């Protein structure tokens, strides 16, 4: 399912832009976000870092319940399946129009994340 992913640099840029624009007061603003499925994101991340392509498989409720018998923490994931069963798309159109922001290029954001992980 498609999901919106917020890059920390875009969140920071939104906070700064909102703080400097009188039109922003008294309401919430959604930071511009990229949209991709978790699988697409994992594949792009692997390609950018020259890692092997990921082998991803979706586990349904019954599979997670079976695995939770020996690994109880996996049972906690069952209540989070809604995040993979429906799209979660953030509408930042008003932020884009009003504050003039756009999301960072997804590949650039992923590479910046890798650099941040490795100090």
Q: Three-state SS string across the chain, please?
A: CEEEECCHHHHHHHHHHHHCCHHHCCCCCCCCCEEEEHHHHHHHHHHHCCCCCCCCCCCCHHHHHHHHCCCHHHHHHHHHCHHHHCCECCCCHHHHHHHCCCCCCHHHHHHHHHHHHCC
Residue 119: predicted pLDDT: 63
Position 118 pLDDT exceeds 90: no
∠ at Cα 31 (86, 102), nearest 5°? 105
Residue 84: predicted pLDDT: 81
Q: Over the stretch 81-108, which tens digit does the pLDDT of each residue have?
A: 888 888 999 999 999 999 999 999 999 9
Residue 115: predicted pLDDT: 82
Mean of per-residue pLDDT scores for the chain: 91
Q: Which two tokens stand for residue 73?
A: 């923490």
Residue 51: predicted pLDDT: 94
């Amino acid at each position: 399912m498609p999901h919106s992913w917020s890059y920390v640099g875009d969140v920071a840029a939104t906070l700064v832009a909102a703080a400097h624009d009188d039109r922003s007061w008294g309401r919430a603003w959604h930071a511009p976000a990229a949209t991709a499925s978790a699988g697409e994101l994992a594949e792009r991340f692997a390609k950018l870092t020259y890692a092997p392509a990921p082998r991803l498989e979706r586990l349904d409720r019954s599979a997670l319940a079976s695995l939770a018998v020996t690994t109880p923490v996996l049972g906690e994931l069952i209540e989070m399946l809604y995040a993979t069963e429906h799209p979660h798309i953030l509408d930042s159109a008003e932020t884009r129009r009003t504050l003039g922001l756009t999301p960072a290029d997804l590949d650039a954001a992923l590479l910046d994340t890798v650099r941040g992980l490795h100090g």
